[in-house]
Structure 1
């Protein structure tokens, strides 16, 4: 009986074993069929998408480019920004009159507007906001403050630069430029390759290739004899404006603290009174035109140069 039971048990196992194999083979066939279908569908989808994505590539690029540009700020919003910026500024900030003049220039600037600012000031974020769809670049003498501002406000583009000038050297520096105006200190040149004492040649290379529409000189510091002063900034602004390669052939150059000697002398010498549009409160506004590459004179009228010489020698 025991043997019979064992036999029966073995028989059942023998009978069940082929059934299990058959079921496993069927499942594998279904799995293989499913994988094949999924692979074919994926390949067809990939080929279809690739073929149809090549044609509208330019359209996609145009749409993505246009979506980056935002509508210009409304006149009401600009007024509000200027109003509250002037009220919240500390003693080092600009007056409402000065801020509004710069704001008006930016509103007239063709879009996109390239805006270069010498100096990180209480108005830094305001300038960034007002030049909404343009490129705004800040240059500052303090590398630690520049790094701090860039970290705190990643949306701003700021670079540090080392000035080698002193306010006490104003007269000597102006004289040196006059002596080298036909060579290193030409009014039209690429300052990246210049050894002119007043030319800033250690900015990022790309900044020398840009055509700047508006340049604001509000730095570096210039209120004590050993301070760097704004001689280099004003000279550099004048050269960049005259050396434009294309686009709008005019550049607005605005100089803050226009009541001080350095600013007066250097604007007379390198921006020229003949190019002055307005002088109001503490802001001097000049409009410079692109000049021929062979030019060797900053100002057309000699009296401005003589005036600067008498001022610097007094």
Structure 2
């Protein structure tokens, strides 16, 4: 009985801290959305070519006021906060704000932060790629306006070292003329993505999936490689901003240094690295990724 009485204030103290943390996270989302300038809520304009299906849904699903108010309501009433820290989120937020226009934003992973990412890119195209179809249905049940596709990965984390050693001997994996669509020869290539992924030039890419914390998980090897190919193949001007989360893990760090390149690393906070990758025709690395 004594132990129980003594533990009651501790439980109340812990609960109080948890509530403060949740309220703080909600306030952070609200402040970021409401204090962002008008450049984040510009009317949608075609970016690097027409995307009829995506543009047709902008008014219905991505009305700036609607998507931002949904995010505010969601995070203000939820006990679940985004996976990334405030400092990590702010890196991506600052880039989105600096672009001065709606962006093409590709996110590997669908989760509790997805509504936030979409709300920070109003009028733009934010697309999520997720490995678990059941999880997609769970998330979309509460946020049906989000755009998400299921991805099937061919890789396993246990094979990460072997894939890194062997990809150089496979011509289909090489940096010169590297491609993704229907590239079944290169195990690191995401060859079966929706057409929209291949046909869009992505301004920003967030890699926070698939799972990479147990040996039978897909790991992020194919995601990192494929994003490098996308960025190098960019036809429009400017760089591709790539954000890689969980760089405290060995595989993420090694693959980032092999394909995203240290020389393109512009900032790192916590477990997040931010790269600015130029098109291959703007660099002198046609013989290698780095």
Give your verdict on TM over 0.5.
yes
Say whether the 8 Å CA contact 1:253–1:287 is kept in structure 2.
Answer: yes
Q: Which residue does the alignment assign to 2:240?
A: 251
Aligned to 2:115, which of 104, 110, 125? 125
Q: How far apart, CA to CA, are the structure 2 residues paired with 1:111 and 1:72? A: 16
Matches within 5 A, 1:88-103: 89-90=80-81, 93-103=83-93
Equivalent of 2:94 in 97, 104, 122: 104
Report the counterpart of residue 295 of structure 1 in structure 2. 286
The structural deviation recorded for 1:189 is 3.5
Q: Deviations over 1:126-156 (max 9, x none)?
A: 0010010100000000011113333442211
Which of the two has higher C-alpha Rg? 1
Residue in structure 2 matched with residue 221 of structure 1 by the alignment: 211
- Deviation string 1:239-285 (CA, Å, 9 cap, x unpaired) is 11111122x33100000111110110010001000000011111001
Work out which of the residue numbers 266, 278, 290 in structure 1 matches 2:267. Answer: 278
Distance in 1 separating the partners of 2:142 and 2:278: 37
The structure in which a higher percent of residues are helix is 1
Question: For the Cα contact (< 8 Å) 1:166–1:229, is it kept in 2?
Answer: yes
Tell whether 2:183 aligns with 1:173: no
5+ long unaligned stretches in structure 2: 1-55
- Summarize the alignment of residues 76-87 of structure 1 with structure 2, pairs less than 5 Å apart: none
Contact 2:106 2:206 in 1 (8 A): yes
Task: Give the whole-Å Cα distance in 2 for the aligned partners of 1:116 and 1:185.
Answer: 23
The equivalent of 1:240 in structure 2 is: 230
Q: Where in structure 2 are the equivalents of 1:1-314 lying within 5 Å?
A: 68=59, 89-90=80-81, 93-180=83-170, 182-186=171-175, 188-195=177-184, 196-246=186-236, 248-292=237-281, 295-299=286-290
CA distance, structure 2, for counterparts of residue 187 and residue 272 of structure 1: 16
Assess if the C-alpha contact under 8 Å between 1:277 and 1:285 holds in 2: yes
How much does 1:100 deviate?
A: 1.1
TM-score for both structures, normalised by structure 2: 0.70
Cα distance in 2 for partners of 1:185, 1:204 equals 23
Q: Which structure would you say has the larger RCO, counting Cα contacts within 8 Å and 6 or more residues apart?
A: 2
- Give RMSD over aligned pairs: 2.9
Q: Does 96-105 or 265-274 show the bigger shift?
A: 96-105
Q: Alpha-carbon deviation of 1:220?
A: 0.6
Q: How far apart in 2 are the matches of 1:71 and 1:216?
A: 21
For the 8 Å contact 1:146–1:158, the answer to whether it is kept is yes
| TM-score between the two structures when normalised by the length of structure 1 | 0.65
Deviation at 1:224, TM superposition (A): 1.2
| Distance change >3 Å, CA 270–CA 187, structure 1 → 2 | farther
Deviation (angstroms), 1:178: 1.9
Shift of 1:177: 1.8
Q: Give the count of matched residue pairs.
A: 224
What are structure 1's unaligned runs of at least 5 residues?
1-64, 300-314
Are the structure 2 counterparts of residues 160 and 215 from structure 1 closer, same or farther at C-alpha, using a change threshold of 3 Å?
A: same
Give the distance between the partners of 1:187 and 1:160, measured in 2 at CA. Answer: 28
Q: 1:221–1:227: 8 Å Cα contact kept in structure 2?
A: yes
> Is the CA contact 2:106–2:128 (under 8 Å) kept in the aligned structure 1?
yes
